[in-house]
Structure 1
Amino acid sequence: MDGQNFNRNLFLFLFLCNVYLYCTTTEVCSNSILPGSKGDPGEVGTEGEEGRMGKTGPPGQRGLTGRYGEKGEIGRIGKMGPKGTSGDKGQEGINGLPGLKGKPGTTCDCGRYRNVVGQMDINISKLKNAVKFLKNVVLGIRETEKMFYLLVTEARRYQESLLNCKLRGGSLAMPRTTETNTLLADYIREADLTHVFIGLQVGVTEVGYMYVDGNPFLNTTVWSMQSPRSGKGDCVQLGSTGAWSQADCGATQYYICEFVKIKNTSATYF
């Protein structure tokens, strides 16, 4: 009897223990997903848009000085500047030594000297004609009352022709009258040429042109190109028709030099 009570009590005890453990046990529910196994590598995506430019960084250190380059070609001739002011008058020189005393004169034999003077006039006239023939035919020189003109058949650039005329004792021809312009145009035509350089350039201002001696030339009515800024060059050429036009200073062509016969000139300008 005692054994049955003991078994019954033990069974009851174990049953209660199981019920207690079942009641006190709480089931924990979680939403977390456990990581799976590593997948295969994906495809390379397309290139993204260019990002915004960042801030400018600090300047770098100054680099070393580079080597000098090769010497470039000579640049174009600049425009002629304005005429400078006249310089101060120089100091008066020292008087020279007096000359030797001449021989005493004699009584004039007028008749005999008239014949000599007459023959001298004839000889001088022949000499002038010979000189004129030499200048016009042999040397090809043209002249006016105050000037000699020489057509130089050596093609040069404008600046070189200007220097060459100066070395000859003259300057590039500067026709200032209609008669002179016609004379030089005939000179060019007889030489079977079309254009030659003359001493005139586009001025430093927008108003017109300037002779090589610094005097301005403003009236363009004698020009075949009316505008002084046609873009064809800053130098001037004279044609066989008497018309003037702009030319490239770097081009080579013939030119006319002028030489003064009488220093004090009073030419009538265009």
Structure 2
Amino acid sequence: MKFPIQVMDAHTFSRKLFLFLFLCNVYLYCTTTEICSNSILPGSKGDPGDVGTNGEGGRLGKTGPPGQRGLTGEYGEKGEKGQMGKMGPRGTRGDKGQQGIDGLPGLKGKPGTTCDCGRYRKVVRQMEINISKLRNAVKFLKNVVLGIRETENMFYLLVTEARRYEDSLLNCKLRGGSLAMPRTTETNTLLANYIREADLTHVFIGLQVGVTEVGYVYVDGSPLLNTTVWALQGPHSSKGACMQLSITGGWSQVDCGATQYYICEFVKNKNTSAT
């Protein structure tokens, strides 16, 4: 019985001895062998390199948010005086002014005779000459400067501002008149020559197409009774409901939305001046 126990003790002893020697070899290997590593130690700092060339410009970036509002700048120099604008409509009449101071009395005249007709005739003659000059000046002012034509009862003004028919009606009304309504052959010829002298072809006049029973109607509401005198055709055509006058004196229908020049008329007995 003792022999197997000794054999087992020897076997156990040999295993423990082998384990001891193995651990000793591992310890020696770990303490003496250097461990490999992939890390590279940094070297010394080199000399600075040359400055490279400028690269290409980058792409335009997105627009940034708007900046804060800047301070108000200084006022610039005053510009030159502009051109005079068109004359506006006539204003309302102002109040009567205060009476002025009486002037100094004149010198005493020479004593007259019982009959001094020759002297008075000279005075009257000179007054007639002055009145004639004044009339010519007024006529020149109306016909040349203002470009007005007139008959016995009317003034006529050609307005060279292209407007639609409704706007021309309103503009003539603001001036104190209305669109021209030629009712006689003489007036129609006068206005046709007025247009020709202004190098125009057609202008609006105060006549429109009314209902079927009435035909053509002036802007004051009165009907045009005899259309054959003016060589007018049927009032209802596709050309428009407004009327125009040509340089030949003929009338024709036109679209009311078209823009062209027009003639205003003013009644003389109402003391209305064309502005």
Distance change in 2, residues 1:225/1:217 (3 Å): closer
Q: In the alignment, which residue of structure 2 is the partner of 1:216?
A: 223
Indicate the residue corresponding to 1:158 in structure 2: 165
Question: Cα distance, 1:204 vs. partner?
Answer: 2.8
**Cα distance in 2, alignment partners of residues 209 and 109 from structure 1:** 64
Q: Provide the C-alpha distance between the structure 1 equivalents of 2:228 and 2:145, rounded to a whole number of angstroms.
A: 35
Q: What is the letter of the counterpart of residue 258 of structure 1?
A: E
Aligned to 2:156: 149
Quote how far apart the aligned CAs of 1:228 are: 0.3
Q: Which residue of 1 aligns with 2:26?
A: none
Q: CA deviation at 1:206?
A: 3.5
Deviations 1:208-254 (A, max 9, x none): 11111111103212445411001211111001110001111111100
Render the CA deviation track for 1:9-50: whole Å, top value 9, x for unaligned.
xxxxxxxxxxxxxxxxxxxxxxxxxxxxxxxxxxxxxxxxxx
Give a deviation string over 1:176-234, Cα, whole Å, max 9, x none: 00010011001111111111000111113433111111111032124454110012111
Aligned residue in 2 for 1:243: 250
> Pick from 102, 106, 114: which aligns with 2:121?
114
Range that drifts further, 112-121 or 130-139: 112-121
**2-side partners of 1:135 and 1:234: how far apart?**
33
2:194 & 2:268 partners in 1: Cα distance?
19
| Corresponding residue number in structure 1 for 2:139 | 132
Which of residues 189, 196, 208 is equivalent to 1:201? Answer: 208
User: Which whole-Å CA distance do the structure 2 matches of 1:236 and 1:224 have between them?
Assistant: 13
The 3 A distance-change label for structure 1 pair 144 and 236 is same
Distance in 2, Cα, partners of 1:221 & 1:155: 30
Alignment of 1:218-233 (within 5 A): 218-223=225-230, 225-233=232-240
CA distance in 1, matches of 2:155, 2:190: 11
Separation (CA, whole Å) in 1 of partners of 2:236 and 2:212: 11
Change beyond 3 A, Cα 1:244–1:178: same
Indicate the larger mover: 108-117 or 146-155: 108-117
Q: Distance in 2 between matches of 1:122 and 1:246?
A: 49
Counterpart residue type for residue 149 of structure 1: Y
Unaligned runs of 5+ in 2: 1-111, 271-275
Using the alignment, how far apart are the partners of 1:215 and 1:235 within structure 2?
Answer: 15
Who is 2:266 aligned against? 259
Kept after mapping to 1: 8 A contact 2:214/2:223: no
Instruction: Give the one of 181, 187, 204 matched to 1:180.
Output: 187
Maintained 8 Å contact 1:222/1:243: no
Separation of aligned partners in 1, 2:199 and 2:178: 23
RMSD (CA atoms): 2.1
Mapping 1:17-166, distance limit 5 Å: 110-166=117-173
Aligned partners of 1:247 and 1:114: how far apart in 2?
59
2:178 to 168, 171, 179: 171
Match of 2:98 in 1: none
| Counterparts of 2:138 and 2:191, CA distance in 1 | 20
Native 8 Å contact 2:217 2:223 kept in 1 = yes
The total of aligned residue pairs comes to 158
The normalised TM-score by structure 1 is: 0.55
1:111 Cα deviation from its structure 2 partner: 4.4
Aligned AA (2:197)? E
